[in-house]
Amino acid sequence: MSQENSKKPLGLEKNFPAELSSDERRRVPRLNLTTEQFRHSQNGKIYSVFDLSKNGMGLRLLDSQEVSLFPVGSHFDGILSLKRVKYPVRCQVKHLGRDLVGCEFEGMDSETRKALDQLLDPAALGAELRPLPAIEGSAVWYHAPSGTDLIIWRASDGGYSRLSIFLMGTYVQWEAQEGLTSGRIDHSQEASEVRGVVRFETLVLHRDEQLDSSKLKIAKTLLISSNLPEELKTWCLKQLG
């Protein structure tokens, strides 16, 4: 694994196991634009927010040359828009990707913290999961705010072969061959393929040595609170044990 991919991912929680086993690259669909946005105070530009967590966020740059404006370790402030309500935040740059900036929040006030906690409540995210058009291989795709995605891939026989849940920079995944795993997400340096509002992006999945029960609990809460068809919801929960 390269030095770039070994760094802490964009806008993620910090409480991960110290030991991580084999990594996996996974090409997944993600929305090209997000409802969460950030207005930079210094340059006035607006950036889409990806993989938002309680500790930080990832900013998507429309022009990859703009990475030079965000040197690692630098500080900046601006306005974070959550559900069209604006909150002031201050950040420090922790990681740079091809067209992404990973930031950590600093000195967040109580009102912004409360709004972020409410937005990122797994039950609230689950209630906002909405189906998106079928993607490659006729996979089933549900999306919610803050980079939350539920994707179910089909096997050649039409049955389901893999279930992946991505939220707050972490993942829980079931596969017919591998079983149930969990871990954290990194964004690779590979160029993404953009098709309208959908961006096909290669993610690096850093697998936990052991299944993380806290991640599994969050994934189950997300599903239980969702409006997925009951048959599909039951199947998903069964795979999560």
199 in Cβ contact with 187 (< 8 Å): no
pLDDT, tens digit, for every residue of 185-239?
887 777 777 777 787 888 889 999 999 999 999 999 999 999 999 999 999 999 9
Here the tokens at position 16 are 């991960």
Residue keyed to tokens 């070994």: 6
**Residues 25 and 86 reside in one and the same domain:** no
Q: Crossing angle of helices 213-224/230-239, nearest 10°?
A: 170
Boundary residue ending a domain (85, 109, 133): 109
| Co-location of 129 and 229 in the same domain | yes
- Residue 13 has a pLDDT of 38
First to last CA, the chain: 31
- Residue 7 inside a domain? The answer is no
pLDDT at 114: 95
Tell me, what's the pLDDT at 136?
63
Residue ending a domain, choose from 82, 109, 136: 109
Q: Which of 141, 189, 168 is nearest to 36 (CA)?
A: 168
CA distance linking residue 39 with residue 203, whole number of Å: 26
Q: Which structural domain, as residue segments, surrounds residue 195?
A: 21-32+122-239
Do 147 and 225 reside in the same domain of the chain? yes
Question: Number of structural domains, the chain?
Answer: 2
- Single out the residue of 94, 90, 85, 144 nearest to residue 114, CA to CA: 85
Bin 146: left if φ > 0, else alpha if -120 < ψ < 50, else beta: left
139 in the same domain as 74:
no
CA distance 104 to 102: 7
Q: Does residue 89 share a domain with residue 143?
A: no
Integer Cα distance of 181 and 172 in angstroms = 6
| Residues 135 and 51 occupy one common structural domain | no
Q: Is residue 198 part of a domain?
A: yes
Query: Which pTM was predicted?
Result: 0.82
Q: Give one word for 165, left, alpha or beta, with left for phi > 0 and alpha for psi -120 to 50.
A: beta
132 shares its domain with 231? yes
| 85 and 47 in a common domain | yes
Predicted pLDDT at 134: 67
- Residue 216 in contact with residue 165, Cβ under 8 Å? no
State whether 28 and 143 are in the same domain: yes
In a domain, 3, yes or no: no
The domain boundary residue, chosen from 80, 109, 138: 109
**Residue 4, in any domain of the structure:** no
Instruction: Give the distance from CA 85 to its chain's centroid.
Output: 21
Q: What is the pLDDT of residue 97?
A: 82
* Judgement on whether residues 141 and 232 belong to the same structural domain of the protein: yes
Q: Is the pLDDT at 166 greater than 90, yes or no? A: yes
Q: What is the CATH number of the domain that holds 87?
A: 2.40.10.220
Q: Are residues 60 and 137 in the same domain?
A: no
- Distance, CA of 182 to CA of 173 (rounded, Å): 6
In a domain, 115, yes or no: no
Residue 214: inside a domain = yes
Q: Per the domain annotation, does 14 fall within a domain?
A: no
60 and 159 share one domain? no
Greater confidence (165 vs 1) lies with 165
Q: Dihedral of CA 223/228/234/239: which sign?
A: negative
| pLDDT digits 0-9 by tens, 6-48 | 334 343 333 333 334 468 888 888 877 788 999 999 999 999 9
**Per-residue pLDDT tens over the stretch 42-87:** 999 999 998 888 899 999 888 878 888 899 999 999 999 998 899 9
